[in-house]
Amino acid sequence: MSGTARVRNRSNPLMDGSAAVVAFAGVVVIVAVAGTAAAGVSAPRVAATFGVLIAVGEMVRLRLPDDRVQAPIGLAAALGYALLTYLPGEGQVTHSILQTIAVTSGGMLAGALPHALAGRASELEGIARRILVVSGVAAVFRPLARDDALHAWLEDHPHALVVLTILAATVAWGLEALLAAGIQASRQVGPFRALLRNELVAFLGIGAAIASTGILIPLAMWEVGLWALPLVIIPLLLAQLAYRRYAGIRHTQDQTIRALSRATEVGGYTETGHARRVTELSLAIGRDLGLPENRLRLLQYAALMHDVGQLSLADPIPGGATVLVTPGERRKIAGLGAGVVRQASLREEVAEIVEAQAEPYRRPHVRDDTEIPRESRIIKVVNAYDDLVGTATSEDARLEALESLRLGMAYEYDPKVVAALARVLGRAGAIPR
């Protein structure tokens, strides 16, 4: 999910989908370890090699630009182990579903231990998701790999193995997206269908490299053996380093935009924290309305920069409350802000969103309201709400602000956005349900 802070809901964290996933993964791991210990380890040298590689991959895990945490090398190695069917010198590889889970979980937990000892986040939820993804792939593929007749047929038809491994990687893609979307939906941050779509799209980035490497591992090891591991993993390592650099660039850009957005606060044009509050609440509404991830990124940047046009005013607006000035003044400020965004070399879509935020939801003699970006409508509603509430902390002030927005739904404010604002505030406990 995006790196900006979110409006929190009032739900019990024990009922969060994350806790359920971690608990379920814990049960699966306990059963797998117990079953493997009772049955004995098949091909221990191979299991140890993959366990070490998975642990190393977990140690060098990657935080993506959208704030997702992934362990490309560890997950690819775990998928490769789940899909492994044959090794030169070893013959048919017949480790069980439970052993696959035990080796995967042992490696991931061992790799996460240095992070925990160093006081960094252990990302237990992410580890649990990866374990369950590998468990699902193993449950589908390992029974096939242990079938002697099928293995003999695969030796004569190697292209079929490619098809099977691709199908298994597709299963991994779907499971990862379903688990992540389910956890986010349990936190009430948006409709499940939109969250699932965002997760599926997000996995097409580094996830595609993970899946393809997981497929290549068993295919390459069929011919080369364990020496294929470094040959296959090195390209993924280089891709991970490139992603890490890209994430660093995105982080620097985010920090620059945040610093620029605070210029209005430092100059006394807006209240302290106004841009941050508008951004957090806008993103929460955007998720509630099901905006895709790429549009949420544009919404984040535009919300941070929405008031930067006030820097050109000779006399600051009292409290920076643009909701109190004339529509002409609001358009002027929005236009100046869009000019600053363009000079900052941000995407043109961000400038368009900032510029359109001053437009009313319904305009005279214009039947189609789709010309105004939804992101602009969101920022318009949230900015007005924050301006009306100001520094007040009472529920009465918030209710009055929300009621004022509802009175303006016939012309000024998008009713769907106002309704989403009420839902988000209700979940956050800012207003009664």
- What is the DSSP code (8-state) at residue 309? G
What's the pLDDT at 349?
92
Do 357 and 376 contact (CB within 8 A), yes or no? yes
3-class state of residue 92 by DSSP: strand
Q: Average the pLDDT over each of 18-27, 92-101, 107-116, 244-253 and give the range with the smallest value.
A: 244-253
Predicted structure pTM score? 0.78
In the chain, the percentage of residues whose pLDDT exceeds 90 is 32
Report strand pairing: 69-70 vs 62-63: antiparallel
Q: What is the pLDDT of residues 345-366, one digit of tens each?
A: 788 899 999 999 988 887 655 5
Residue 290 has pLDDT above 50, yes or no: yes
CA atoms within 13 A on the CB side of 5: 10
Burial of 397 from C-beta contacts in 10 A (0-12 / 13-18 / 19+): middle
What's the pLDDT at 2?
36
* DSSP string computed for 28-88: HHHHHHHHHHHH--SSHHHHHHHHHHHHHHHHT-EE-TTS-EE-HHHHHHHHHHHH--EET
d(CA 292, CA 286): 9
For residues 382 and 197, the model is more confident at 382
Confidence of residue 429 (pLDDT cuts 50, 70, 90): low
**Which is nearest to 85 in space by CA: 95, 71, 75, 99?**
95
Residue 366's alpha-carbon distances to 355, 379, 411, in angstroms, are: 18, 21, 12
For residues 187 and 127, the model is more confident at 127
In this prediction, residues 155-172 reach a mean pLDDT of 73
Residue 78 has pLDDT above 90, yes or no: yes
For residues 363 and 278, the model is more confident at 278
d(CA 117, CA 320): 46
Structure tokens at 95: 């480790």
Residue 101 has pLDDT above 60, yes or no: yes
Residue 371 has pLDDT above 90, yes or no: no
**Which is nearest to 265 in space by CA: 280, 279, 277, 275?**
275
Residue 343 has pLDDT above 60, yes or no: yes
**Which is nearest to 218 in space by CA: 129, 141, 147?**
141
Residue 367 main-chain phi, psi, to 5 deg: -80, -35
Residue 432 has pLDDT above 60, yes or no: no
Q: What is the pLDDT of residues 55-68, one digit of tens each?
A: 999 998 887 766 67
Confidence of residue 325 (pLDDT cuts 50, 70, 90): confident
